[in-house]
C-alpha cells in the first residue's frame, strides 16, 4: 500500500525527559491507524510534533512525499492534515455551525482588504463553508444543534463538533486525540461508523484512544508507544497477543474479541 505518512527517527525532548525516542512509523493510505499506550507514553507529543505545535528534537516527518518537519501548523493543515485535541478548543459563544466553519477558513483565498469589505466572492465562499458545515453536522447526527452556542452542548456532543471542524479542513489524514472520551454508547457506535465511512471515502485516520474495545473494532493497524518508544506494531490480533504490550499496557488479563 502507498505510504501516506512516514516518520523517520522522530524524537522530542523536554530538558532531560525524552518524550519521543527515534519513532519510526509508516501510515499507509486508506487505513484507520491506532496509536495506543499508557498515559505519558508520548502519543499526544507525537501528534503535536507532526502538526507543528512542537518542533522535533531530531528526525523527519514526510507526508505525501513532502518533508513537513518543523512546518508551521497552518502549513500542515494546507498540506492535508487536520486534528482534534485531547482537551477541547472550540469557541463556546459561537454557534455549532460557526465553529465548524472555522475549520475550513484556510480554504478561503482572500486578501486583507477582501476580508474587510463584503465582496460577492467572499460572501459566496462563506456560503459554501456554511453549506459544507451543515452537511458535516448531518453526517455526524448533530444537525439539530446547528444554531446552538457550542458552550451549551454536553461534552460528548462538543467532541463531535470538534471532529466536524477538523473534517471541514478537507484533510487526507485526520488525527483524532481521544475522540471517544465523554461519548455515550450510542455516540461511540456512531464514531465507529464514521471512521469506517471516512475510510471508504479515502480519508485516513490516526486514532489515539484508550477505549480498547473501540480500537480493536475499528483499527486496521495499531502501533504501541511506551516511554516515548515504539514497542510494537501490527494488526489488532497481533497486538492482543503481544507479550510486551500486555506487560506495558493492556495487562495479562486483557481479552477482547
Q: 175 and 163 in one domain? A: no
Same domain for 25 and 70?
A: yes
Identify whether 85 is part of a domain. Answer: no
The predicted-structure confidence for 97-113, as pLDDT tens digits, reads as follows 999 999 987 666 554 44
What domain range is 33 assigned to? 1-80+171-257
> What is the domain-level CATH number for residue 198?
3.40.50.300
**Do 127 and 246 lie in a common domain?**
no
pLDDT, position 113: 43
Note the pLDDT tens digit of each residue in 37-49. Answer: 999 999 999 999 9
In a domain, 86, yes or no: no
Q: Residues 1, 71: one domain?
A: yes
List residues bridging with 98 in a β-sheet.
none
Whether residues 186 and 128 share a domain: the answer is: no
Is the pTM higher than 0.85?
Answer: yes
What is the chain's Cα-based Rg? 19
Q: Is residue 18 part of a domain?
A: yes
One domain for residues 192 and 204: yes
Total count of domains within the chain = 2
In the numeric block, which cell numbers belong to residue 19?
518524550
Boundary residue ending a domain (102, 135, 169): 169
Q: How far is CA 225 from the centre of its chain?
A: 17
The C-alpha angle with vertex 40 and arms to 186 and 60, in degrees rounded to 5, equals: 100
Give, for all 257 residues of the chain, the pLDDT tens digit.
689 999 999 999 999 899 999 999 999 999 999 999 999 999 999 999 999 999 999 999 999 999 999 999 999 999 999 999 877 789 999 999 999 999 987 666 554 445 555 556 667 778 888 999 999 999 999 999 999 999 999 988 999 999 999 999 999 999 999 999 888 888 889 899 999 999 999 999 999 999 999 999 999 999 999 999 999 999 999 999 899 898 888 764 554 43
Q: How far apart are CA 143 and CA 57, in angstroms?
A: 42
Find out whether 26 and 6 touch, Cβ atoms under 8 Å: yes
Same domain, 139 and 160: yes
Between the alpha carbon of residue 166 and those of residues 39, 81, 103, 109, the distances in Å are 24, 9, 6, 19
Dump pLDDT digits (tens) for 9-28. Answer: 999 999 989 999 999 999 99
Residues 149, 191, single domain; the answer is no
Residue with cell 461519548: 183
Domain closes at, from 144, 169, 194: 169
Does residue 184 share a domain with residue 70?
yes
pLDDT value of residue 184: 87
Long-range Cβ pairs for the range 141-148 (8 Å, 24+): 141/190, 142/96, 145/96, 146/95, 146/96, 146/97, 147/95, 147/96, 147/97, 148/95, 148/96
- Domain boundary among the residues 124, 152, 169 is at 169
* H/E run at residue 254: none
Query: Are residues 76 and 180 part of one domain?
Result: yes
Asked whether 152 and 89 are in contact (CB, 8 A), the reply is no
Cα dihedral 69, 73, 75, 81 sign: positive
Torsion of CA 79, 82, 87, 89, to 10 degrees: 80
Phi first, then psi: give them for residue 70, nearest 5 degrees: 75, 10
In a domain, 118, yes or no: yes
Burial class (CB in 10 A: 0-12, 13-18, 19+), 220: middle
Q: What is the pLDDT of residue 89?
A: 81
Amino acid at each position: 500500500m502507498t505510504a501516506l505518512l512516514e516518520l523517520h527517527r522522530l524524537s522530542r525532548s523536554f530538558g532531560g525527559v525524552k518524550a519521543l525516542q527515534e519513532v519510526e512509523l509508516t501510515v499507509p493510505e486508506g487505513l484507520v491507524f491506532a496509536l495506543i499506550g499508557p498515559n505519558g507514553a508520548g502519543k499526544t507529543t507525537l501528534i503535536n510534533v507532526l502538526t507543528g505545535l512542537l518542533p522535533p528534537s531530531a528526525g523527519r516527518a514526510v507526508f505525501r512525499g513532502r518533508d513537513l518537519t518543523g512546518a508551521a501548523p497552518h502549513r500542515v493543515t494546507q498540506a492535508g492534515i487536520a486534528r482534534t485535541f485531547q482537551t477541547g478548543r472550540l469557541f463556546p459563544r459561537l454557534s455549532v455551525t460557526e465553529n465548524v466553519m472555522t475549520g475550513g477558513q484556510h480554504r478561503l483565498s482572500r486578501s486583507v482588504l477582501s476580508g474587510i469589505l463584503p465582496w460577492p466572492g467572499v460572501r459566496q465562499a462563506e456560503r459554501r463553508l456554511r453549506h459544507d458545515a451543515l452537511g458535516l453536522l448531518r453526517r455526524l447526527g448533530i444537525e439539530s444543534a446547528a444554531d446552538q452556542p457550542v458552550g451549551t452542548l454536553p461534552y460528548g456532543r462538543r467532541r463531535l463538533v470538534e471532529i466536524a471542524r477538523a473534517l471541514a479542513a478537507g484533510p487526507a489524514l485526520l488525527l483524532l486525540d481521544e475522540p471517544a472520551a465523554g461519548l455515550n454508547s450510542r455516540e461511540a457506535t456512531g464514531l465507529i461508523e464514521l471512521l469506517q465511512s471516512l475510510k471508504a471515502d479515502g480519508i485516513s485516520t490516526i486514532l489515539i484512544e484508550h477505549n480498547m474495545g473501540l480500537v480493536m473494532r475499528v483499527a486496521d493497524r495499531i502501533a504501541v508507544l511506551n516511554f516515548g518508544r515504539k514497542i510494537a506494531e501490527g494488526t489488532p490480533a497481533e497486538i492482543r497477543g503481544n507479550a510486551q504490550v500486555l506487560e506495558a499496557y493492556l495487562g495479562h488479563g486483557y481479552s477482547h474479541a
